[in-house]
Amino acid sequence: MLDQWLDMTLNDKAPPVYSGALASASYRLHAPGVLELVPDTRATNARACVFSAAVHGNETAPVELIGELLAAIEAGTLRLGAPLLVMLGNIPALRAGTRYITTNLNRLFKRGLDTAGSEPDRARELIARVDAFYARHSALPPLHYDLHTAIRESLYPRFAVVPYSSTPTAPEQWEWLAAAGIQAVLDQHCHSWTLSHYSRHYHGAQAFTLELGRVAPFGGNDLAALGPMLGLLKALAGGAIPARAPADTMDFFRVEREVRRESDEFCLCFADDTPNFTAFAPGTRLARDARTGDTVVDHTPLHVVFPNARVEIGARAALLATAAAPPNTKVE
């Protein structure tokens, strides 16, 4: 059943059954693209795990990665030891191979959202499913990895974005992410209503947006490079302690400010193919906007991340970050 679930979702076909048993777990389909698995026996180190993908519909590598995870569980080569909620975010965009249909779903995960439309409706549905999952498994530490790929090249192809929150990152997370092949960490400076931010802000989860390479169509992803990340997902799904590596193998950055598009007359003042984390020296003009004027680097070099001049008016067009010292990574 699980090996067919992704195909049925992509092809808009109703599943023959909505719940059932596996070798080590039971499963239930709560909604289109929302699958919960509960272990027959919970492991000692289990967490309440949410793994999400396709919040942007053109990001396929995370979907294939989750497919491999589910295949291992169904085949019995991975014994489930922790409750697991798997979510595919923007299903219409995933089918169409586009980032979104009408608006960016990954800016809508906020309680009290009153915007109308298919993507706001989907945000509210996913919010409800996350809330219910964490409520059902409230005795376990909550964890959420939201899996993405970036629309451009990056000096660090695999990096983690830490949502802004009062919830500190547990030291072992740095070592797990380092062992999973994450090369850099970007610490957010303010609330940004992404899916991973939702779980960290409202539920105190260890939650991250994980960028796992560059956007490619189905079949065009280098999953071999994501083998260590698949190992991390399998360990957490199994309720095991993941592999560790020194956190200082990753480079750390902190967002200082952002560039927003506020008018039709907006542009970024660097090449479209500029990789994520490219540094610009003081005095460099980064953007022009007819309403807000120029964005210029001040006294400290800034690294540009997620630049995109073609966002909606009022949306973020780039993050500007500085290099940061690694946090306290000592595991007690």
Catalytic residues: 211
The answer to whether the annotation marks 201 as part of a ligand binding site is: no
124 token code pair: 């509210």
DSSP 311: S
Phi/psi for 292 (5° steps) reads -105, -5
Whole-angstrom CA distances from 34 to 12, 51, 82, 292 are: 14, 10, 17, 41
The answer to whether the annotation marks 59 as part of a ligand binding site is: yes
Q: How far apart are CA 242 and CA 320, in angstroms?
A: 32
What's the residue count for the chain? 332
Beta bridge partners of 37: 27, 84
Token pair 């850099």 is found at 184
The answer to whether the annotation marks 256 as part of a ligand binding site is: no
Q: How far apart are CA 193 and CA 134, in angstroms?
A: 19
Nearest to 141 by CA among 241, 72, 229: 241
Three-state secondary-structure class, residue 328: coil
Which residue numbers belong to the known binding site?
56, 59, 148
Which residue numbers belong to the known binding site for Zn(2+)?
56, 59, 148
